[in-house]
Structure 1
């Protein structure tokens, strides 16, 4: 028998191995080769193209979608389409349209009619955690380099490059008005309409939220409302979520303002149907000629066996064949799982191309073809990637299902029975995506999901026997009326409602009390002083606010040599005493992120109270595990916020040492200050 790794017969198209980077790839023809204009991307393209040259149409858009949903690839294709008609990029873009659009598509004529022969000037940049004006200047600078790469630049264009140089070293004072003026100067200097695209715009919004800045939002609004001059400016921002999704740290009033500004932009969706995503999987996988015949034969058998499942899917045997070596049910379930549960670092194409454990690439390297027979990548292996490889599921929808499924499977490991684990994971994955429709976990579908061939009667018999055994044990539940296997029982305890109730009861609790309970501070040692003198000196740390009189502060820890207080008020204190009431050195540090600290500490304290006092958790294992998962996540989020709130590098924390203001630039300098006080 000859055995060879499946990687010798299956591979991924090269373009899917590397994520699109607009700044890096926008002038490369090979970056758009293989791009597919799907139904959704064609609709989005039509709305954009028909707005060009139309003064009454929207000129500012956002595209919202999860990581891996094709936003950057779409934007890259759009830039290629907007290059001059005699360029290689434009020709490559037309070839994509001719290859993937229906012959009778009206989009051909609309592209030819609305995009001028000289094209548009594309100014592109990837967003970053920096002021939005900086990112836009970087995009404009990229455009300037396109046009004036080998000739003398107008003074206004050189100014853009100068600002870009300052941004690269983190020292730029460009104003929003100068940014707006630079955009208009670029259109006039080139006599071209400008397409301004910011990828990862969410990073700029995160920066604005972190710094509680409204200027960046108003700059976006001003760009959306730029009046039509001789040459129009078009703006496209790519996001993972809506504006409000990046503003969770802000107050309700501030979030409402963000929502109003997003209303200036027309939002485009690139979310494909699950059937279309299954087709895209097939387009991404290359099969050698020697294996294609085997795949086609098996796909024909599967298409017949899954007729009732495929009735709503519009999936042909040819499409199923193209998705091998994925099991046909994996090819159908994978898009649904990505759409509903994928994290920012988990997407359909990440699963296909990454070298992570349980991903397709690793599967191809570790599984073999043996005499025209090979294992397909099944649903239980999908579970291993999406559930066991993904942390931080506590923020996901249907958390109770995740928690119970993981808990049951974890408990089953003690039995050392791989078949039981495979079966539970298969049922669990199907439970996660649906409890109705053709992909629900019927006993027959679960058995088929564990077989490489639908006509393997011995394997089917084995798995049906295993299913019956788990039903008898009560490990899985069979709902006869729905003809569905379930791995979770559910919970009658509403964790979310309990959290809300606890937070309401905490309304009068001060932030200092909340943080003392949820993030207690330990004494801190003056390390250099101890190393050089041998004397152990330490400072007590405490949270305080304006309800406390600074002149009456005392240390509460026996033997403490000084007191560090973290000021939890929006206004810095007017007078900071040099010493505590008993004459020990006093250091005061102001705090940022106060609203977010309150939200996160309230959430964590609510969960701690529920875990300690809710009697229902004693008998409700599902709710108990959910609270435990949420606690881990809430603790992590509060720790992250604490790091943001006390970040010397950002230079937002003020410090008084023994009554005198002191500028601290990093944690090491703060530590050194403690030793200086003790020396």
Structure 2
């Protein structure tokens, strides 16, 4: 019985969202399931849509990889583009509370024309240049490029043409001056056409050299806010538009630049544009920036790299001014919301013969699994029956421990192209999608096929390697796995699962042999073999062991190089610590003399240092 015959992945979640390429993908819009914070973002959209809305039409949406920022951006963009009665929009509205839905529908009727959507992504050069070029691209896509007003950039290009046609000697001086700046005349002209402010500044600088000392005088627009306001007025008065909404996804790199120098050009340009959005009134201009960190986190990163001459207080004051221009939202789903999202991604045909056979044939197993999971009590707020329906059956074929670990693992190591949802949806090695499509259920087995916690390592291991805070776990895995035979199934699975737990760091349970047995879904007939193998793989006398057994009964990856010989030397050194000639006497005496000044327990658990070196620490008297 093939799982793919009755289990599918929801098409609304299929692959990551790319706003630049998928603005009109209404299927993905309809598949969106708003969480608590995203519902607040949609409520804010509804409120600020009204022509008399108060300020702060600039928003900063923050969240780690996999929290659905781009998917939310797609939904909001289409709320700007499409009428509220569009079927796919209705599908989203039905998932909102009554008050938000009514407010949105009423305000969308009052403001019933579409908005021009400007999409920006990542590092697109200077902020002001990106805003200008983004508007130009959107107008061209809409066949409205003729609405682009004359700009200071156009005036500079016209001036170059004028000098070329009428003043050949001055034109030669112009070319020479530009070449001294490391550019050709054609390159400068091309950059001016792309609204690059640096190119315009270069032109203004060299203008006196070929114009008898006169500076370049222009009466046309240069700043993005002025440019946008002119276009919005034309769109609203003479075309079928209400205004413009700007979406800048992956804004984190630019935000890092802004935070480093809030009073610099980038910070000022961003602040001025946001302020223009906030006071746009009936000619509406909206701005959404999407980042992976909060402003405070960017600020902390900036502080760590600041020089001793930097005025941190001044930077904080300047940053506070920028922060005040934006309404912030931090996307972080609650555990229950995340579990519901996972369940909504996995679509089971509950009316199929196959599903009925599976649930009937393995009914005792599902009951036992639900009972075990309930006793472990790591799904807080789930009574046993709800646990069975929503988690055990609702997220099948994921094992409950996999459901629990996946969000935490994704939050700590996920990259832009590999998140919780791509793990579920993409046809990649180690993904649930591929597992469903290749797995067959054996009705004679002790359990149906289960996607267990060790399988998460297959999907996320490269991301673990690339993250600084988890790279040591990957390093240990590579070294320890080399000690295992390729056909050592228990050894491979144990090491992978313990490495996953090492990153997730669950606080509600310890990684004991019982937890490992449960998490790896070990069959009853192989339990003795499993525990025997676990004991051998964690024997501290074996220098090739792959696991370390701690005194509390939990397990972690073995410490590389911690052989019995070294272990014996350390034990002997500690045992002789009280001897008068012990090299530990002086440091022990010193530490004892200052210990009373510290409010700490006598026995301590080492955490971060433990991740690297694996010590057990206690005070020596």
Task: Give the TM-score taking structure 2 as reference length.
Answer: 0.66
- Name the residue aligned to 2:168: none
- Distance in 2 separating the partners of 1:203 and 1:415: 42
- Distance in 1 separating the partners of 2:521 and 2:188: 57
1:241 to 264, 285, 293: 293
- Name the residue aligned to 2:370: 303
User: Structure 1 residue 418 and structure 2 residue 489: aligned?
Assistant: yes
User: Structure 1 residue 463 and structure 2 residue 459: aligned?
Assistant: no
- Name the residue aligned to 2:64: 66
User: Structure 1 residue 322 and structure 2 residue 394: aligned?
Assistant: yes
CA shift digits 1:251-281 (9 cap, x unpaired): 5558755565344322211111233222212
User: Structure 1 residue 286 and structure 2 residue 359: aligned?
Assistant: no
Q: Residues 490 and 622 of structure 1 are in contact (CA less than 8 Å); yes or no, is this contact kept in structure 2?
A: no
- Bigger shift: residues 249-258 or 280-289: 249-258
1:49 to 46, 51, 57: 46
Change (3 A) 1:271 1:162: farther
Q: Secondary structure, in 3 states, of the residue corresponding to 1:378? A: coil
Counting only pairs closer than 5 Å after superposition, residues 451-600 of structure 1 correspond to structure 2 as 451=521, 456-473=523-540, 475=545, 476-479=547-550, 481=552, 484-487=554-557
1:131 to 126, 130, 153: 126
- Distance in 2 separating the partners of 1:180 and 1:622: 50
Change (3 A) 1:372 1:61: farther
Q: Secondary structure, in 3 states, of the residue corresponding to 1:369? A: coil
User: Structure 1 residue 156 and structure 2 residue 227: aligned?
Assistant: no
Cα deviation for residue 78 of structure 1 reads 1.3
CA shift digits 1:448-481 (9 cap, x unpaired): 11116xxx42244443333344454465444565
Cα deviation for residue 71 of structure 1 reads 0.7
Q: Secondary structure, in 3 states, of the residue corresponding to 2:329? A: strand
- Distance in 2 separating the partners of 1:40 and 1:361: 28
- Distance in 2 separating the partners of 1:63 and 1:142: 24
- Work out which structure has the larger RCO, using CA pairs closer than 8 Å and 6 or more positions apart in sequence: 2
Q: Secondary structure, in 3 states, of the residue corresponding to 2:451? A: coil
2:135 to 129, 136, 140: 140
- Distance in 2 separating the partners of 1:299 and 1:142: 55
Change (3 A) 1:301 1:162: farther
- Name the residue aligned to 1:530: none
Q: Secondary structure, in 3 states, of the residue corresponding to 2:347? A: strand
Cα deviation for residue 237 of structure 1 reads 0.5
Change (3 A) 1:332 1:387: same
- Distance in 1 separating the partners of 2:112 and 2:322: 33
CA shift digits 1:17-46 (9 cap, x unpaired): 332222332234223121112223112322
CA shift digits 1:181-218 (9 cap, x unpaired): 12111331233243222122235446879999932322
- Name the residue aligned to 2:469: 396
- Distance in 2 separating the partners of 1:121 and 1:418: 57
Unaligned runs of at least 5 residues, structure 2: 157-186, 198-220, 237-241, 563-608, 615-621
Task: Give the TM-score taking structure 1 as reference length.
Answer: 0.61
Q: Secondary structure, in 3 states, of the residue corresponding to 1:281? A: helix
User: Structure 1 residue 179 and structure 2 residue 250: aligned?
Assistant: no
Q: Residues 11 and 28 of structure 2 are in contact (CA less than 8 Å); yes or no, is this contact kept in structure 1?
A: no
- Distance in 2 separating the partners of 1:59 and 1:262: 13
- Distance in 1 separating the partners of 2:82 and 2:442: 52
Cα deviation for residue 136 of structure 1 reads 1.9
- Distance in 2 separating the partners of 1:313 and 1:490: 40
1:32 to 19, 29, 35: 29
- Name the residue aligned to 1:450: 520
Q: Residues 498 and 555 of structure 2 are in contact (CA less than 8 Å); yes or no, is this contact kept in structure 1?
A: yes
CA shift digits 1:390-420 (9 cap, x unpaired): 4323x226x65x2675266335326963312
Q: Secondary structure, in 3 states, of the residue corresponding to 1:436? A: coil
- Name the residue aligned to 1:118: 112
- Name the residue aligned to 2:335: 274
1:406 to 459, 477, 482: 477
Q: Secondary structure, in 3 states, of the residue corresponding to 2:499? A: helix
Change (3 A) 1:358 1:119: same
Q: Secondary structure, in 3 states, of the residue corresponding to 2:91? A: helix
- Distance in 2 separating the partners of 1:413 and 1:310: 31
Q: Residues 380 and 425 of structure 1 are in contact (CA less than 8 Å); yes or no, is this contact kept in structure 2?
A: yes
Q: Secondary structure, in 3 states, of the residue corresponding to 2:494? A: helix
Change (3 A) 1:109 1:263: same
